[in-house]
Chain A
């Protein structure tokens, strides 16, 4: 399951085209995702970066078909060559936790409080691989050791509330990895953790990803976390990807004014005594689908042409692209 899976074939592990998600309730309508395109190669780590309401978590949930019934979802989602939008019933259940698995921000609510950690891992193995109880329990122990939980044997019998935050998050990772998924979806998995624990979990995820050759889509609002784990980054704003590219050049200098502003307004060392650069205003409400550049009302470079329509994605060379008319094609 390791290097053998890192294929060099051009077919991506994940292919999302023109994904739209609209939440419609009696009170209001929210156009959460508006024409999202995304590719992920096998064995690649993509960070989706964005602020609250940018549509990053909604996109992730759409990939696992976890959105509520009142969400209108359109577009195409393919994972490992299979059409996720067409799945239903058993096919969908096989897919969830089998080919694609997810880890969440808050392990205390994602894990079931009335079952031991060992049982919750073994259950996945039994359901997906038809293993016997004994085989599944043995596999659960292997998985706890894989995620580097100390005295794993004893921890199998622990309930979630008996574990510390860091161990709980490791246990949830073990549940997700139980059936060796090709795709791991991570929704802010380190946001609720302390600084000294966050870095441990990030390094663990990176190590497991390389060992198991998984593709990972990692949602975060934290540029530092993206810098620590991503191969490639996609920045979302108002339900669209506004910039995408390899992490190195991106951190050195984004192309689009929104991530540029985000990077400049992120507080880091040696900024004492200076006035922080801010992005004025607030993101749009998304009550209607954006028909122009969504960022132009907050953008210092905006001009009349920005409001002529949704800016196209401009290829800037080196695998980088941005949705801004000011970006020079490369």
Chain B
């Protein structure tokens, strides 16, 4: 098993997505016909730059976990292009990258640390499993598993032969990270990796992730609903709402100068941590709508205080408002016809 190396050069994005779409049909009735469609991910486009951590935030139903599964190709997209370091993914015969080779370079860590490990395998075997599948001898694979266990802070002599149920939540998540690292991937997709952990353990795992990224030269896609955690770990942040990207930009731009009304509301919904400055009015009313029948035009317009006629008629364009800070809002687009158009640009 050879180690995957850089091919396209530092200027090429590690992963580039365009028009990525995944709809889930809802079957119903006697004949099992499709009665509705969940538009989980609808025309999502973004790039993951080599060596960065891209944070993806959004509420339930916004499509962030579906995006993660599409990135890992656990789900096949209905439409859209995926290019990994200059090579199209999943087109084996042409010049593309086969899924097998792709998955060796892209690994994933899930939220539920227990459900994502085989309860009947000692953790060493779980970690060595993928390298063996990819052609390493059992002996070498076990050797690597032990090295990686040490790298994630679990002493191999003490932990290698333990089963998942013998570990705490934090230790199990370290095992999942070790398993993701076993193939020496270039990109790791972390889907809510610390959400199920207690705060003191969460900090330990976040520190570990930062450390490993530097040590192994990794690139992360970090998905979370926790805005504080995303701010801590990300270089760039992508905000999703009902299957679409509403805002994307460098972490400081998103947190200090959020452009999209949804991002502003999301940031304003964070508890203040200061009892003297409690909120009195919620930034948004209602729940996110059902992704089965998303609103026409701008999908956020039903909860937006700035909504006008144009918002129902036309889908907002993604506009660059400076230094790679992109917002999909008519108010950010000078020529959109919204009365406050260009106010943000």
Contacts and interface: CB of A to CB of B under 8 A. Distances in A.
Nearest to A207: B280
A258 to B, nearest CB: 9
A224 to B, nearest CB: 3
A268 B274 CA distance: 12
Contact of B279 (A166, A203, A230, A251): A203
B287 A261 contact: no
Interface of A: 51-52, 150, 164-167, 194-200, 202-203, 221-225, 227-228, 230, 247-248, 251, 261-262, 265-269, 271-272, 275-279, 282
B275 A265 contact: no
B168 to A, nearest CB: 5
B276 A267 contact: no
Nearest to A230: B275
Given A198-B269, A275-B210, A276-B207, 20 more contacts: A194-B59, A194-B60, A196-B282, A196-B288, A197-B59, A199-B269, A200-B284, A200-B285, A221-B198, A223-B199, A225-B271, A227-B271, A227-B274, A251-B273, A267-B226, A267-B229, A268-B273, A276-B232, A278-B203, A278-B207
Contacts, number: 119
A196 B232 CA distance: 20
B231 to A, nearest CB: 6
Contact of B287 (A164, A202, A203, A277): A164
B116 interface: no
Contacts of A277: 203
A262 B204 CA distance: 12
B275 A279 contact: no
Contacts of B271: 199, 202, 222, 224-225, 227-228
Contact of B273 (A167, A227, A278): A227
Given A223-B273, A262-B200, A203 B280 contact: yes
Contacts of A164: 286-287, 290
Contacts of A197: 59, 287
B272 A166 contact: no
A172 B181 CA distance: 44
Residue of A223, A228, A275 contacting most chain B CB atoms (<10 Å) = A228
Contacts of B290: 164
B273 A195 contact: no
22 contacts: A167-B287, A195-B225, A195-B266, A196-B269, A196-B283, A199-B271, A203-B280, A203-B282, A224-B270, A227-B274, A227-B278, A230-B275, A265-B199, A265-B200, A266-B199, A266-B203, A267-B206, A267-B232, A269-B231, A275-B207, A276-B207, A278-B207
Nearest to A268: B228
A267 B228 contact: yes
Given A222-B271, A228-B279, A267-B232, A276 B203 contact: yes
Given A199-B283, A278-B207, A228 B278 contact: yes
A276 B228 CA distance: 13
B198 A200 contact: no
B227 interface: yes
A294 to B, nearest CB: 14
B202 interface: yes
